[in-house]
Structure 1
Amino acid sequence: MNQVRAFTSKRRAKRPFFDTDTMMLISERQQKKSAYFESRLDALERCVKKLPQRKRMFVDKRYRIGFTIETIAKDMGSTVDAAYKMLRRIREDLHTCVDRTLSQEGLGK
């Protein structure tokens, strides 16, 4: 009985989960998504460069260096609440900028 289970299990493991056409479709969709996200990342980098220096430094400290909001607030001489609000506004500005940039390039959603 165990040999039958082992044989059946091996056969199932060797059988492809998707047929070739399905795999090709998945691959094409993944490539399109990858290109789209690369475009968004490129647009984001350009939008970050357009930020005023203070906001750009805030983004660098938070996302490139990895400082906590508390540390950034202390460095900037502001409250933690004000730092969170500033981060929210920066994110909104960047989101708008990325969407606008991609739309102008014909790469919108």
Structure 2
Amino acid sequence: MKDKTADKHETFLALFTENEAAIRAFVRRMVPTRQDTSDVMQGVALVLWRKFDELEDLDGFRKWAFRVARYEALGWLRDTGRDRHVLSVDVIKVVVDESAHNEAKLAAQRDALDGCLEKLPTPHRQLVLAAYAPQADMQQVAKQSGRTVNAFYQWLHRIRLQLVECTRRTLQLEGLS
């Protein structure tokens, strides 16, 4: 039988891992560089873990994590506010509010795109994901597809158009467009 600490740790890790990319994207919109994002995310992760016991509804983890990320980013901006290359806190608050407002729409779009990707034949989906992987070598992906680089780009363009249309239809059917 697992002890409570192990269960808490596993629950936190599952929730954090599931939401980390969205939280990171949210923070990235508020701070100037990727390194700054990493610094803020370390603080966010620590605060989330330390205060995890205070979260009463696990279904509200994402919203709570965004709130923590907002305060951590604003604190980081306040602390680095002497740097003239950093936007003012007032401007950042506008960006944060707009980002929070758009997060539900962006999440729905991501979910719809994921569903559309799943509808692609497995070889096509693998090629699309390979083409968009970090540091993807397009010549290698084109070779893997059995196409020239130009032909692969044309094929990829057609697939992207299909994915856009599928995503639009999915959002319309769900009343989210």
TM-score, length-scaled by structure 2: 0.44
1:65 Cα deviation from its structure 2 partner:
5.7
Q: 1:51 aligns with which of 113, 120, 132?
A: 120
Residue of structure 1 equivalent to 2:132: 63
2:152 is aligned with 1:83: yes
Q: 2:174 aligns with which of 95, 98, 105?
A: 105
Q: 2:162 aligns with which of 64, 85, 93?
A: 93
1:89 Cα deviation from its structure 2 partner:
0.6
Change (3 A) 1:75 1:17: closer
Change (3 A) 1:30 1:72: closer
How far apart, CA to CA, are the structure 2 residues paired with 1:71 and 1:91?
Answer: 19
Query: Structure with the greater relative contact order (CA < 8 A, sep ≥ 6): 1 or 2?
Result: 1
How far apart, CA to CA, are the structure 2 residues paired with 1:93 and 1:77?
Answer: 21
Of the structure 1 ranges 60-69 and 50-59, higher mean CA displacement relative to structure 2 is found in 60-69
Q: Which one-letter code corresponds to 2:147 in the other structure?
A: S
Q: Which sections of structure 2, spanning at least 5 residues, go unmatched?
A: 1-88
Change (3 A) 1:81 1:17: closer
Change (3 A) 1:72 1:91: same
How far apart, CA to CA, are the structure 1 residues paired with 2:136 and 2:90?
Answer: 44
How far apart, CA to CA, are the structure 1 residues paired with 2:90 and 2:147?
Answer: 56
1:82 Cα deviation from its structure 2 partner:
0.9
How far apart, CA to CA, are the structure 2 residues paired with 1:103 and 1:81?
Answer: 33
How far apart, CA to CA, are the structure 2 residues paired with 1:84 and 1:44?
Answer: 20
SS of residue in 1 equivalent to 2:132: helix
How far apart, CA to CA, are the structure 2 residues paired with 1:65 and 1:55?
Answer: 18
1:85 Cα deviation from its structure 2 partner:
0.6
Residue of structure 1 equivalent to 2:31: none
Change (3 A) 1:65 1:54: farther
The sequence identity of aligned pairs, in percent, is 34
| Count of aligned pairs | 87
* Superposition misfits of 4+ residues, deviation over 3 angstroms: none
Root-mean-square deviation (CA, aligned residues, Å) is 2.2
Q: Which one-letter code corresponds to 2:139 in the other structure?
A: E
How far apart, CA to CA, are the structure 1 residues paired with 2:99 and 2:137?
Answer: 34
